Amino acid sequence: MDIFDKIRKNRGELGQYQKQGQGYFMFPKLEGEISPHMKFMGKEVLTWSLNNYLGLANHPEVRKEDAKGAKDWGMAYPMGARMMSGQTSKHEELEKKLAEFAGKERAYLLNYGYMGMTSIIDALAGRNDVIVYDSESHACILDGLRMHMGKRYVFPHNNIENLMKQLERASKLAEKTGGGVLVITEGVFGMAGDLGNLKAITDLKKDFNFRLLVDDAHGFGTMGKTGAGTGEHYGVQDKIDVYFSTFAKSMAGIGGFVASDEDVVDYLQYNMRSQIYAKSLPMPMVMGAIKRLEMLKNMPELRENLWSVVNALQKGLKENGFDLGKTESPVTPVFLKGGIPEATGITMDLRENYGIFCSIVIYPVVPKGVIMLRLIPTADHTLQDVERTVKAFASVKKKLDAGEYSEVRTMVVK
């Protein structure tokens, strides 16, 4: 069998829908300046799809700093990986500031959170170590697990009782192999917005010997009194052994970081393959991240705006009978009954007739027969935006209940 023949026949889990929705449902082009009001196919849409939680992406001060970084340094600087020729004092300065804010001894930058996470797992856990992880973990965690040569046990999403069972199994096995146990979960689960139960998990440290790695991609900047994340929210940041976040959400950039004890980060710096063998983050991104972190820390009003929009949106939707699952974060999922016809029908109706752009999630991410519209409020949205959206949702819900979206819609945009 020729490899190309194979892939012509089997386009993959997502690729199979390419012909029905490329450019519309998948890979849509949002145009114009990043804000809640952008253009899609030439029409203005109220956008609820960007993880720009604090509204930093297009903030004039951020834009200024980004432009200055590019002017002063160019996009190439520094050339090479950190270990070889890509080290700068600015990279170190950003790491110092991140560590301080995250309440850890040391931090290390990652080029893309995704790559970083796979290597954190790979570097921390060897063949004798056992990993115990939440079943709804992000793909970067699952890909890190693919590289793991030892045993792994999964616990059903946030099920602490089951986690205890897995920890018993893992501890027994680790005793035999002479290895350790690493538990991995998330601060905020980015699809449904519920929180990893970090309080209950860290409480288990009394009874089990394990280290905890938390992916707080959606919690950093949004959760906790100072925005330091979900660990701060629960008051357990010091019990998270390895803290990870990306710059792709609240920090509105590229890259990420890992923070932990000094010797652990020293070790990671020398053992995370995706960082050792890849180019250092470009200087404008580093300078821009220093600026973003300063703003995240010193402008609590950004987080206050975000939460006032979050609270209004979630309250309005709930009052209109929508099921928002268990979200406790800005991520606002709206669960509806339906399959692909309903999912495509509602998405198109919202975009074409109400000017509202949100993301749609279907099986296998959510169970069969359920569709999820996912809204991401930001500090840039207004209460008028919320009102308009709640009204539109109430209107499409009536149509859904009346069976108006029973035909599969296809829409391919060239």
Ligand X SMILES: Cc1ncc(COP(=O)(O)O)c(C=O)c1O
Residues at the site binding ligand X, with contacts judged by CB under 6 A? 112-114, 117, 138, 140, 186, 190, 215, 217, 246, 248, 256
Q: Which of 223, 306, 393 is nearest to 52 (CA)?
A: 306
Residue 258: DSSP 8-state: E
Minimum gap (Å) between residue 285 Cβ and ligand X: 11
Q: How many CB atoms lie within 10 A of CB 10?
A: 10
Closer residue to ligand X (CB): 117 or 192: 117
Minimum gap (Å) between residue 146 Cβ and ligand X: 15
Minimum gap (Å) between residue 248 Cβ and ligand X: 4
Closer residue to ligand X (CB): 109 or 343: 109
Closer residue to ligand X (CB): 248 or 379: 248
Minimum gap (Å) between residue 124 Cβ and ligand X: 16
Closer residue to ligand X (CB): 104 or 409: 104
- Alpha-carbon distance of 87 to 137, in angstroms, equals 32
Residue with structure tokens 């709804």?
Answer: 136
Q: How many CA atoms lie within 13 A of 180 on its CB side?
A: 10
Minimum gap (Å) between residue 245 Cβ and ligand X: 8
**All residues at 6 or more sequence positions from 75 whose CB lies less than 8 Å from its CB, including other chains:** 282, 284
Going edge to edge, which strands form the sheet with 106-110?
A: 106-110, 256-260, 242-246, 211-215, 181-186, 130-134, 152-155
Minimum gap (Å) between residue 141 Cβ and ligand X: 7
Query: In this structure, which amino acid lies at residue 269?
Result: Q
Closer residue to ligand X (CB): 229 or 316: 229
**All residues at 6 or more sequence positions from 356 whose CB lies less than 8 Å from its CB, including other chains:** 45, 46, 48, 350, 388, 389, 392
Minimum gap (Å) between residue 110 Cβ and ligand X: 7
Q: Which residue is nearest to ligand X (CB)?
A: 113
Closer residue to ligand X (CB): 220 or 322: 220
Closer residue to ligand X (CB): 257 or 393: 257
Q: How many CA atoms lie within 13 A of 300 on its CB side?
A: 5
Minimum gap (Å) between residue 289 Cβ and ligand X: 12
Q: Which of 345, 353, 343 is nearest to 43 (CA)?
A: 353
Any idea how long the chain is? 414
Residue with structure tokens 């849509």?
Answer: 28
Closer residue to ligand X (CB): 91 or 351: 91
